[in-house]
Chains A and B, each alone.
Chain A
Amino acid sequence: MIKLINLHKSYGIGSTSLHVLKGLDLHIETGELVSIMGASGSGKSTLLNIVGILDAYDKGEFYLDGRIIRHLNETQSAKLRNQYIGFVFQSFNLISFKNAVENVALPLYYQKVGRRKRNTMAMEYLDMMGLKDWAEHLPSELSGGQKQRLAIARAMISKPKIILADEPTGALDSATSKEVMEIFKDINATGITVIIVTHENDIAANTRRIIRLKDGMIEHDNMTPDMLQKQHDTLYIPQPN
């Protein structure tokens, strides 16, 4: 699903240039549950942004579902994002003047889905997250855990192939964090690739594969090639020709 080959990314120009990703190689299959860990400045957020087609990279290759992602204009990036990727952020990033249903339905609006259908689907997903009763409420009226569940519902509604979560439990207490991780696991069980960036070991322990970044390169991957192959065999679903 995601193939990164010799990925380089720098910020800034000339003398103030910061070389963040220094030739990263990474291969993530469909259906994996991965956490990316690393200290501040190790490049994990940068990596997430590139995989999420929110930012461009300087050198190397990035393949998403077999397609090379390079030199895309804004419109193309937006469409791909809408199709493939669902985002979950640490600070939830909900639109404060829209209520729960409207927030969840927003990705469908950009898929040009009609109003009634949008709202029906949004209610479905709210229900899945146990938030049906809060449909008309504004984000400010929800607790942290509810907000994150709302964000997850929003990420899921466009039926993405990948969920990217940047410190999803950062603003939540441990009990709520556990709930949220369970939700991610359930999502993953349906075949969706889930990639979580985190700095907490407890959270990472919930995932099958843990990748550590240091200084823009992969320092440690807890899956050896053998284990990766085994995972590939269990995960790989033959596509009908």
Chain B
Amino acid sequence: MLIILLGSGKGIENSVHRNFESRAINSIQMWPGQTSVAYKGNKTGRNIRYDNEDFDFIKNHMKGIEYGSGRYYIDGNSIVAYKKEYASMDLRAVHPDFPHIEILDILSGRFFNRFDLEQYSKVVVLSQKAKDQLFNKEEAIGKYVTVTGVPFEVIGVFNPKNDRDKDSKMLYMPISTAQRVFSGANQLHNIAVTTGASSVEESKTIHENLKKLMAQRHHYDVNDTKAINSYNALEDFEKVTTVFRGIRYFMWVIGLGTIIAGIVGVSNIMIVVVKERTKEIGIRKALGATPWAIISLILQESIFITAVAGYVGMVLGIGLLEIISRSIKTDFFINPEADMSVTISATILLIVAGAVAGFIPARRAAGIRPVEALKDE
């Protein structure tokens, strides 16, 4: 039971971790909304827009920020073509820090850097799926594709860490280039930052500071919750971790509970066994068995029973987990397993349990008086 419970807990935990892996754990995302409160002469219903200045200010002046990237979504008919192949895909314009925020596996080539940004280079990075569709088996790096008719050089191919996005066709380009080519002026649809090695408390402070900053720069009430949408991944992660710790403790408690029930059971049986073997124990004592010899006799038996039964239970539990993990392939239950350390501590626990179970029966056995035992008929 213990194994199954612990394994299941780990399975759910693993899936949640997997979900978190795709994004930098220490990231804070924010995107603008609409004001809902009149403030300093400004009406409600005003659309807030972020811009490059916001981003630069944050990057240069906010304390505790490690990486940052804005995002600009290119609207319209987003056709990307290479020679005779073409595909429609998501076009995203970001800053060079972006791979640190949404984790990307760069498969070949590189992501664009500060120079590309400053030079307004016409370069793109394609997702594996996009590259396959346009280039097939051909090498893509160094070739030119057209994005809505405008030629761009492919400098890298990536795969997103996020399982859900793995099958989608995506393209990233420097935000400066996008703003110039696609007349986005200097608008940013979203700003995301990472907080480096800050603690959860520190990241919460940074989060608050960012919200205050945006309220200030865009002249809306800092308490207007509709004017800004934001998300602190670290805070979320901490909540989830705490929940799982709680779940794990709970599982242990239940598992221990079942073990205790087992101990009581074995103990009961041993008491009966001792009673049945009273005569034999009396004979042994008459022949020179010390109390310790009798105790170890009983303990050996109870430890043996507990260890064997426990081991069988453990093997069955692990087997059951294996079967479950093979037949259920949902996102919520990945790799349920109990790792080695759990298994070893469970085994030790079993041996100790056996000793505890045998303790009272053993004491009873040692206390048997040979005179009375031998009179037993």
Contacts and interface: CB of A to CB of B under 8 A. Distances in A.
A158 B288 contact: yes
Contact of A110 (B290, B371, B374): B290
A154 interface: yes
Given A93-B283, A95-B283, A106-B284, A75 B374 contact: no
A234 to B, nearest CB: 32
Contact of A78 (B288, B371, B374): B288
B320 interface: no
Contacts of A82: 287-288
Nearest to A89: B374
A94 B283 CA distance: 8
B374 A93 contact: yes
Contact of A107 (B287, B293, B366): B287
A26 to B, nearest CB: 20
Interface of B: 279-280, 282-293, 366, 369-371, 374, 377
In order of increasing CB-CB distance, the 3 nearest A-B pairs are: A82-B288, A110-B288, A78-B290
A110 B369 CA distance: 18
B288 A79 contact: yes
Interface in A67-87: 74-75, 78-79, 81-83, 87
A79 B284 CA distance: 12
16 contacts: A54-B286, A55-B371, A75-B291, A78-B288, A78-B290, A79-B288, A82-B287, A83-B288, A87-B286, A87-B287, A93-B282, A93-B283, A93-B374, A107-B287, A110-B289, A158-B288
A118 to B, nearest CB: 13
Nearest to A93: B283
Contact of A79 (B286, B290, B370): B290
Contacts of B279: 93
A54 B371 contact: yes
Interface string A107-118: 100110000000
Interface of A: 49, 52, 54-55, 74-75, 78-79, 81-83, 87, 89, 91, 93-95, 106-107, 110-111, 154, 158
Contacts, number: 53
Contacts of A55: 369, 371
Q: Which of A78, A81, A95, A110 has the most CB of B within 10 A?
A: A78
Given A54-B371, A93-B279, A78 B377 contact: no
B284 A75 contact: no
B280 A95 contact: yes
A97 to B, nearest CB: 8
B290 A74 contact: yes
Contact of B287 (A49, A75, A154): A154
B319 to A, nearest CB: 35
B291 A74 contact: yes
A107 B291 contact: no
B377 A91 contact: yes
Nearest to A92: B283
A78 B286 CA distance: 7
A87 B282 CA distance: 12
B371 A107 contact: no
Given A54-B370, A78-B291, 6 more contacts: A49-B371, A78-B285, A87-B286, A94-B283, A106-B287, A110-B287
Contacts of A89: 374
A106 B297 CA distance: 14
Nearest to A55: B371
Contacts of A158: 287-288
Contacts of B283: 93-95
Contacts of A75: 290-292
B331 to A, nearest CB: 57
